[in-house]
């Protein structure tokens, strides 16, 4: 059985975390005969949780853009070694809240770092590991900002505090990535109600999961 990596991407407040949790329950309840791991970046490991707080806490000290890039890479390298690769090796399906596309969109387009540097950092962290499927929750940045404001508990993290123009550039980054990798990245209109978005997500996932299961069966026989 082959493990599979499914990533959930989008700007802050796009709704990906909620959809990931719903997908997780749906897959578990529907008995897809495959064990699952749900995880996230940054912060999918104990070490990663320390890095997450450095990355997301608003601080008086300004975090340099290249330092930010390297911290995301460090979180990812640890996450892949400790969580993702072992799960894939056991044939599990891994649902990951953010992965490499976030680095291209946020540090590349959002911060404006040179793409060569971003690519280098991603290559070093992943050693070439790529998602099998990426769901990109595309939401209007103003709507996403409103959702973040309305969210119970409120609060703004360091990246959210970078403002609307930053989120717009990041959205543009995801758009460019979706054009570049049309087979892997599937755009989901996240502007609709939660339930309507989930219907779309299931429509995308069902045929893929069936295909993966039949590929596994063919391998066994």
Q: Site residues (CB under 6 A) for ligand T5A?
A: 10, 12-18, 40-42, 56, 72, 97-98, 102-103, 106-107, 147-148, 151, 159, 190, 193-194, 197
212-216 long-range contacts, CB within 8 A, separation 24+: 212/2, 212/4, 212/132, 213/32, 213/33, 213/34, 215/2, 216/1, 216/2, 216/91
The residue (of 123 and 151) whose beta carbon lies closer to ligand T5A is 151
The residue (of 18 and 172) whose beta carbon lies closer to ligand T5A is 18
CA angle 166, 160, 148 (to 5 degrees): 120
Of 8, 23, 19, which is closest to residue 197 (Cα–Cα)? 19
The residue (of 13 and 131) whose beta carbon lies closer to ligand T5A is 13
Q: Which residue has the tokens 């996230």?
A: 40
Residue 32 C-beta: closest distance to ligand T5A, Å: 22
| Residue whose beta carbon is closest to ligand T5A | 15
Residue 136 C-beta: closest distance to ligand T5A, Å: 11
Residue 209 C-beta: closest distance to ligand T5A, Å: 22
Give the DSSP letter string of 168-195.
HHHHHHHHHHHHH-TTTEEEEETTS-HH
Residue 221 C-beta: closest distance to ligand T5A, Å: 39
End-to-end CA distance of the chain: 12
The residue (of 37 and 212) whose beta carbon lies closer to ligand T5A is 37
The residue (of 9 and 27) whose beta carbon lies closer to ligand T5A is 9
């Amino acid at each position: 059985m082959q493990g599979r990596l499914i990533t959930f991407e989008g700007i802050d407040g796009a709704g990906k975390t909620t959809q990931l949790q719903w997908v997780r329950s749906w897959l578990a309840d529907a008995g897809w005969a495959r064990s699952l791991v749900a995880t996230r970046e940054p912060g999918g490991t104990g070490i990663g949780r320390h890095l997450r707080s450095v990355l997301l806490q608003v601080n008086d000290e300004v975090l340099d853009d290249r330092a930010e890039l390297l911290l995301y890479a460090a979180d990812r390298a640890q996450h892949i070694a400790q969580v993702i690769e072992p799960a894939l090796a056991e044939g599990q399906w891994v649902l990951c809240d953010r992965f490499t596309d976030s680095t291209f969109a946020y540090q590349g387009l959002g911060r404006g770092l040179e793409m060569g540097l971003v690519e280098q950092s991603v290559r070093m962290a992943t050693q070439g590991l790529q998602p099998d499927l990426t769901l990109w929750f595309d939401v209007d940045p103003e709507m996403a900002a409103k959702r973040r404001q309305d969210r119970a508990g409120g609060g703004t993290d360091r990246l959210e505090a970078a403002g609307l123009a930053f989120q717009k550039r990041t959205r543009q980054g995801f758009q460019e990535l979706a054009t570049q990798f049309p087979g892997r990245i599937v755009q989901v209109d996240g502007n609709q109600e939660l339930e309507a978005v989930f219907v779309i997500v299931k429509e995308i996932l069902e045929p893929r999961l069936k295909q993966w299961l039949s590929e596994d069966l063919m391998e066994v026989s």
